[in-house]
Structure 1
Amino acid sequence: MKIDLTGKTALITGATGDLGRVMARTLAACGADIAIHYHANERKAAELQNEIRGMGRRAIAVQGDVTKEDDIRNIKTAVQEGLGRVDIVVANAVIQYNWTTVLEQPLEDYVGQFESCVLQSVLLAKAFVPDMKQQRWGRFIGINTECAMQNFPTQSAYTAGKRGMDGVYRVLAREVGESQVTVNQVAPGWTISDRDRESGTEINEGYSAAVPLKRRGTDQEIANAVAFLASDLAGFITGAFIPVNGGNIMPAI
């Protein structure tokens, strides 16, 4: 048994980011062709495109603001012209900002998190899910966060955006399920990425002490969960919020 995405095309938003790059490589290693979305980092997108093509897969880089309807429309056109119909969407992009208390957080940060978590997901669904329904196969995967269940101080804008995103995904899963389109979320913990490896910050004993597995997860472990949900092995899983965080949060029944 293996994850086989041969013949599938995946769009990953924010694919030049720390987690997005590993997701792109992992889905390509499983056989998928990859649409690499980026917002500003054209150089990194070109490097990743060449890397994936070197793996024997087709790949294109597409630029756009995923919070804008016209940009999503242009992304869809570019992907269809370059790779064909999209089978797998991974909504990974998110706006970065400085975290502070509710009383001090600028209002524009709440707007930005709504746009990049909720509105991005809605725009992507409107653009790509109809084709998935038509072919009666599709995977719509969102990258959420353990913060959505922690509700710790200074997390308010991020948590608000991600909890709103969660609602969209759960409703969408019910709406498109009979077309055999699955809608799921992966919720990473504080994840080790290349940025940590380069700066030597992989270990944080304070965080890891509270995690049942007593360590931080890796970017590859997040990508593995995405690849599983994208595959036929997860064909009967939909509406799920799956923490990949060593048990740091545990959704209860």
Structure 2
Amino acid sequence: MAEPPPGPHPAPSPATTARVALVSGGSRGIGLATATALARRGHRVLVGSRSGRAAAGLTGLTCDVTDSQQVEEAFARAERDHGPVQIVVSNVGARDDGLLMRMEERTFRRTIDTNLTGAWRLLRRAAAGMADTGWGRVVLVSSVAAVLGTPGQANYAAAKAGLAGLARSAARELGPSGITVNVVLPGFVDTDLTRDLPPRRRESILSGVPLGRSGTAREIAETVAFLTDEQAGYVTGAVLPVDGGLAMGH
């Protein structure tokens, strides 16, 4: 058997430390796939949703991100029953499409409140507990619409684009406390959120994807899960596309 080359050898990577993770919007699609991926890594996964229900093996929490009091109560319950929440994934994605000139202001405000302000509510509440432990991972799930723009989705695209500014500002503020904040930018993924698109619209989008197919929820989830690992501790303030090349260069 050949001798190993001289010199120091890297130590094996440490096993993932089990932590408490909260995934908002984790009852289906990318959120459920993310919750499952984190559970496979040994984390105690809590799924926040309006219904408070969760898939088998996961723990449900009632957490409407448009309600600051519910966000506070969800974190308080999690901390009381399971310990400090050190991983937070904000995955809420609500669409209310309409052409710009026909869109009512309340529609625009509601979409911003759910997708952007909701993520801010989670991040604000999570930061204090993470700072106390000196370790934290936050991942905000955005959309390729944030960088490409999508006709009929000015409200949704604006909200998802805002996540990048939120994450980068938070990354600078929270980095000294051992907290990373990143954004994952999914492309066209086969979920309930995209299945209602007209066939021609789906074909038009897929024609611009170099890989020639839609993504899967699990492919997005594994990227999110990587950003929560110890090994991703030097990645913060990043906006990471997982889009089959759809938005490359943006």
TM-score class, shorter: 0.7 to 0.9
Q: 2:116 aligns with which of 112, 118, 122?
A: 118
2:238 corresponds to 1:227 = no
Give the structure 2 partner of residue 95 of structure 1. Answer: 94
Once residues 249 and 73 of structure 2 are traced to their aligned partners in structure 1, the CA distance between those partners, rounded to angstroms, is 37
Once residues 142 and 34 of structure 2 are traced to their aligned partners in structure 1, the CA distance between those partners, rounded to angstroms, is 14
- What is the CA deviation profile of residues 159-203 of structure 1, one whole-angstrom value per residue up to 9, with x for unaligned ones? 111122221111101111111210001111110247989xxx9xx
Once residues 61 and 86 of structure 1 are traced to their aligned partners in structure 2, the CA distance between those partners, rounded to angstroms, is 14
How many angstroms does 1:214 deviate by? 1.3
Give the structure 2 partner of residue 35 of structure 1. Answer: 46
Calculate the TM-score normalised by the size of structure 1: 0.85
Q: Any conservation in 2 of the 1:3–1:30 contact (CA below 8 Å)? A: no
How many angstroms does 1:94 deviate by? 2.8
Calculate the TM-score normalised by the size of structure 2: 0.86
Give the structure 1 partner of residue 154 of structure 2. Answer: 156
Equivalent runs, 1:166-245 vs 2, <5 Å: 166-193=164-191, 204-245=202-243
How many angstroms does 1:20 deviate by? 1.0
Give the structure 2 partner of residue 248 of structure 1. Answer: 246
User: AA paired with 2:157?
Assistant: T
Once residues 224 and 192 of structure 1 are traced to their aligned partners in structure 2, the CA distance between those partners, rounded to angstroms, is 15
Q: Any conservation in 2 of the 1:67–1:120 contact (CA below 8 Å)? A: yes
Once residues 28 and 103 of structure 1 are traced to their aligned partners in structure 2, the CA distance between those partners, rounded to angstroms, is 44
Q: 1:239 to 1:88 in 2, by over 3 A?
A: same
Query: What is the number of residues matched between the two proteins?
Result: 234
2:16 corresponds to 1:17 = no
Q: Any conservation in 1 of the 2:21–2:46 contact (CA below 8 Å)? A: yes
Q: Which consecutive aligned stretches of 4+ in structure 1 deviate over 6 angstroms post-superposition?
A: 194-197
How many angstroms does 1:63 deviate by? 0.6
User: AA paired with 1:90?
Assistant: V
Q: Any conservation in 2 of the 1:60–1:82 contact (CA below 8 Å)? A: no
The unaligned stretches of length 5 or more in structure 1 are 53-58
Q: 1:4 to 1:227 in 2, by over 3 A?
A: farther
Once residues 111 and 14 of structure 2 are traced to their aligned partners in structure 1, the CA distance between those partners, rounded to angstroms, is 33
Q: Any conservation in 2 of the 1:95–1:112 contact (CA below 8 Å)? A: no
Q: Which has the larger radius of gyration?
A: 2
Once residues 60 and 4 of structure 1 are traced to their aligned partners in structure 2, the CA distance between those partners, rounded to angstroms, is 23
Once residues 15 and 84 of structure 2 are traced to their aligned partners in structure 1, the CA distance between those partners, rounded to angstroms, is 18
Give the structure 2 partner of residue 75 of structure 1. Answer: 74
Q: 1:3 to 1:239 in 2, by over 3 A?
A: farther
Q: 1:213 to 1:162 in 2, by over 3 A?
A: same
